[in-house]
A = this chain, B = another copy of it.
Amino acid sequence: MIDRLDGRLIELLAEEPRIGVLEASRRLGVARGTVQARLDRLQAQGVIRGFGPEVDPAALGYPVTAFATLEIKQGQGADVRSHLSSVPEVLELHTTTGHGDMLCRLVARSNADLQRVIDKVVAYDGIVRASTAIVMENPVPLRIIPLVKQASED
């Protein structure tokens, strides 16, 4: 899948995203063309989706995060999806196995504001029930490097 060099390249880019291809090639001790080729390949394969800016919702004024488990009326899945995707505070949505049918990540301006967001979310026929867990701490923020390391060292 990916080899050590790919892994090191991804780690390097994760640590210092501002560096260019040339600087990366120096750090890795390989030719510039090699880094260029690896990067192109990683992006073509979809391993690297892109280099979009990582925006912190808290800094945007949405310091409260919560996860909501939703129970959906049978056959309403598609409509619920499009309803939820129209709510900006819904940062992601998954359909899952288990007791709930969907799991979504929400943000809000405050705990009070979270009520407004949840109301907006459940204000839809297809949603039978929602149970919400507010995030208190985030000991492990979304990360990928440890996995990249493991995958590249196989």
Contact = CB atoms under 8 A, between A and B. Distances in A.
A91 interface: yes
- Residue of A47, A85, A139 ringed by the most chain B CB atoms within 10 A: A139
Contacts of A142: 91-92, 105, 142
Given A10-B53, A140-B90, A47 B60 contact: yes
B52 A54 contact: yes
Interface residues of A, number: 69
A95 B135 contact: yes
B96 A136 contact: yes
Interface in A99-154: 99-100, 103-105, 107, 131-144, 146-151
Contacts of A151: 60-62
Given A56-B46, A96-B67, A141-B92, A51 B147 contact: no
Contacts of A33: none
A46 B59 contact: yes
Given A146-B88, A148-B55, A81 B134 contact: no
Ordered nearest first, which 9 A-B pairs have the shortest CB separation? A88-B146, A93-B140, A98-B133, A96-B133, A17-B51, A49-B54, A47-B59, A81-B139, A95-B137
